[in-house]
Amino acid sequence: MLFWLKVAHIAAMAVWFTGLFLLARLFSARVRGTRDGRADFFNPVANRLFFRIATPAGVLTIAFGMGLIPWIEPSGWLVAKLGLVTGLVLLHLWLGVHLYALGRGRRARGAFLLPRLLGWAPLVLLLAIAALTGAKPRSVGDLPPPGTATATGEPHSSSASSSASDGSERGRWP
């Protein structure tokens, strides 16, 4: 079950990021006035991409990720990752606000910086989230499991199963 939950989380995340990359490209085309930025192409494609693909994939990514939390040893990298995911959700909502403003015929504020910033923001967030998830660095700091007053000072391991199998009392959380 855990394996399939991870697969579903990664697949939904891939679809969500693909939607964010394409939305940034569509907004860039809109600002530059290229063929993809014309209202007869942009409006239906961007709306379909945002509301039918990226938003459901984002909700599924967060739901599957929340389902994975009980199997993860709590530490500082997880808090940092959840902070980056919060930033990603805010970026997604900001794209939705701009899409709504364009649908109402208003020019979105910050449209000059939009293609320059939003083209890179999903990529930077993706790389940061992947790096934190893959490395699980101790340098960010470990959080003690609920109910313990201090950390035991045991060596860091990158997987919860190895700390549970080394005979320590810390085990897997919860």
Spans of all domains in the chain: 2-143
Q: What pLDDT does residue 68 have?
A: 92
pLDDT 10s digits, 55-110: 999 999 999 999 999 988 778 888 889 999 999 999 899 889 888 888 777 765 65
Q: Is 21 in contact with 115 (CB distance < 8 Å)?
A: no
Asked if residues 122 and 24 have their Cβ atoms less than 8 Å apart, the reply is yes
- Give the ranges where 104-146 is alpha helix by DSSP (H): 114-118, 121-135
Per mean pLDDT, which of 14-28, 115-129, 133-147 is the most reliable? 14-28
What pLDDT does residue 1 have?
84
Q: Map tokens 């992947």 to a residue.
A: 130
Flag whether pLDDT at 115 surpasses 90.
no
